[in-house]
Amino acid sequence: MDLSKPLDISIPMTGDISNVNAWYVDHPRIEPHAEHGFTGSVKQGASTNFNDIWFNPHAHGTHTECYGHITREVYSVNEKLKKYFFLAEVITIAPGKLGDDFVISKQQLSNALKGTKPDALVVRTLPNTKEKLSKQYSNSNPPYFMEEAMAFLVANDVDHLLVDLPSVDKERDGGELRAHKAFWNLHGDIRKDATITEFVFVPNDVADGTYLLNLQVAPFVNDASPSRPVLFKITEV
């Protein structure tokens, strides 16, 4: 593989209203720190740029989360993610209609994977437009994964799931979180090393297939952290 040609599938944080957003919160902010007459901006006379950043990792961009996202006890993704390179399969799926929803089913995943069992799975959904880089998802009922689809991934040893959606679960599900719970096997032997990464963006010129994935998170002690998943094309020698 050529390490000089990374394929970054993260969404950058802009700190304004154009930033991708979900879960009914305000947009992130990146602004000069102001205190006691000091404003951390070279443009405004300071010697350095010294910004404060306000954001929510689940709402404002590419993030990776661990099972601590849905447990009473506190668990940090920074403590649970200890390996950073994985063989990953990129697949493209057009979510199917189910009542008023669009969903990703077990059959769709099975058809796309064709018997492969990757360490990590990257799911690109259709339609795949650049609108995903700035879409305001609140109250939009985005597509989500069916519980059976997650059980299928668990049975096929997929430990790291990356999706271009704000969540693997339905936006308003009464707090059931069936897909999250199924993926981490919350009611059984919890898959403590497994992660879910949401809000990726896979450009259309990245073909479906097998890649090396480098998955790194910022070292926040939190259930979720901003992350930068990067793919590398595997070429034959």
The pLDDT tens digits of the residues spanning 87-131 come to 999 999 999 999 999 999 999 999 999 999 999 999 999 999 999
Task: Give 52's strand partners.
Answer: 31
Contact 54, 29 (CB under 8 A): yes
- 120-125/34-35 β-pairing: unpaired
Check residue 1 and give its pLDDT. Answer: 85
Percent of all residues in the chain with a pLDDT value above 70, rounded to a whole number: 99
Question: Residue 54 above 50 pLDDT?
Answer: yes
3-state SS assignment for residue 63:
strand
The domain ranges of the chain are 7-11+62-233
- 120-125/85-93 β-pairing: parallel
**Candidates 3.90.25.10, 3.30.930.10, 3.50.30.50, 3.10.20.30; CATH matching 7-11+62-233:** 3.50.30.50
Check residue 236 and give its pLDDT. Answer: 66
CA distance 95 to 121: 16
Q: The tokens of 106 are what?
A: 């077990």
Work out whether the CA dihedral 63, 68, 74, 76 comes out positive or negative: negative
Q: Which residue has the tokens 């910022």?
A: 218
